[in-house]
Amino acid sequence: MKKVFPFEYTRFEKARIIGARALQIAMGAPVLIETNSKNPLDIAKDEFERGVIPITVRRRRDAFVWLQRHDLF
């Protein structure tokens, strides 16, 4: 069985994105979603869940990433 892994951020990348975004919000960047929360970290998490954060990760060319898997037997 062949399985192609969907693109997914690792937990480290996720932490980096949410952290950077929370810091931006804390320093006065405009919030991209409707929310009642006042906590920048919660807002950043919410934004990440909805996929609206305009931040991408530049992976090293030789970084380890799951691409696909063939189950042989």
Partner 1 sequence: MLMYGRIKVRDTVRVPPDKLGENLDEIIEELLWENFEGRIDKEYGMIVCIESIEEIGEGKIIEGDGGIYFDVVFNAITFKPVMQEVVEGVVSEIVEFGAFVSLGPLDGLLHMSQITDDYLNYDEKSKRLIGKESRRTIEEGDIVRVRIVALSLREKEPEKSKIGLTMRQPWLGAMKWIQEDKEKLESGG
Which residues of the shown chain bind partner 1 in the complex (CB under 8 A)?
20, 23-30, 55
Asked whether 57 and 18 are in contact (CB, 8 A), the reply is no
Report residue 21 as tokens: 């975004």
Minimum gap (Å) between residue 21 Cβ and partner 1: 9
Minimum gap (Å) between residue 40 Cβ and partner 1: 10
Report residue 67 as tokens: 């691409």
Minimum gap (Å) between residue 50 Cβ and partner 1: 18
Q: Which is nearer to partner 1, 20 or 33 (CB)?
A: 20
The alpha-helical segments, DSSP class H, found in 1-73 are 11-26, 40-50
